[in-house]
């Protein structure tokens, strides 16, 4: 419920629930998978932090998994920004407000800044039960 509330403010749509609550099931599945991966690696002890040689070998494939998560998350968020940029009508979502600021201050509100603000808004919520 917390993720739905936050994502409705940020993006204008919910990603949890079924039927009429979720418009795009594939996008919702992708969002849930990203959040599950983020929270599963959060706070876990990583032996590579303590033994440097394990980092060179990528023990357990942690670095590879985090790089894949980073690319997937970036592509997902860029898709959300592009979708709102293409929309004709402006709604009252966080992305729309940031894109209107982007039009007036190009150097301060880049796509990377907007995606970072979305990510901080979504991930700083309490961890849900899976």
Give the pLDDT confidence of 74-95 residue by residue, as tens digits: 999 999 899 888 887 777 888 8
Is residue 8 included in any domain, yes or no?
no
Residue 29 lies in a domain: no
Percentage of the chain with pLDDT > 70? 85
pTM attached to this predicted model: 0.76
Question: Which domain range does residue 78 map to?
Answer: 34-123
Cα-based torsion angle of the residue sequence 81, 83, 86, 89 in order, rounded to the nearest 10 degrees: -100
User: What does the pLDDT average to over 119-129?
Assistant: 66
- Which pLDDT tens digit goes with each residue over 64-77? 888 999 999 999 99
Count the domains in the chain: 1
Q: Which long-range contacts (CB under 8 A, 24 or more apart) does 81-88 make?
A: 81/111, 81/114, 81/115, 81/118, 84/11, 84/12
Higher pLDDT, 16 or 41: 16
Asked if residue 60 belongs to a domain, the reply is: yes
**pLDDT of the residue at 129:** 47
Structure-token pair, residue 54: 């394990």
Q: Does residue 118 fall inside a structural domain? A: yes
Comparing 99 with 125, the larger pLDDT belongs to 99
| Under 8 Å between Cβ of 76 and 30 | yes
- Domain presence at residue 90: yes
Q: How far is 49 from 52, CA to CA, in rounded Å?
A: 7
Q: Give 126's pLDDT tier (boundaries 50, 70, 90).
A: low
**What is the average pLDDT score of the chain?**
80
Classify residue 128: in a domain, yes or no.
no
Residue 102 lies in a domain: yes
Establish if 87 belongs to a structural domain: yes
């Amino acid at each position: 419920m917390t993720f739905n509330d936050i994502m409705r403010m940020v993006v204008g749509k919910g990603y949890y629930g079924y039927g009429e609550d979720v418009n795009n099931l594939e996008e919702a599945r992708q969002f849930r998978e990203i959040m599950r991966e983020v929270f599963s690696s959060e706070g876990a002890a990583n032996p590579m932090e303590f033994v440097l040689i394990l980092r060179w070998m990528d023990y357990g494939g942690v670095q590879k998994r985090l790089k894949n998560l980073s690319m997937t998350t970036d592509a997902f968020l860029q898709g959300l920004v592009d979708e709102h940029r293409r929309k004709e009508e402006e709604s009252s979502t966080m992305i729309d407000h940031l894109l209107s600021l982007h039009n007036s201050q190009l150097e301060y509100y880049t796509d990377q800044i907007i995606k970072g603000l979305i990510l901080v808004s979504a991930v700083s919520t309490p961890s849900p039960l899976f």
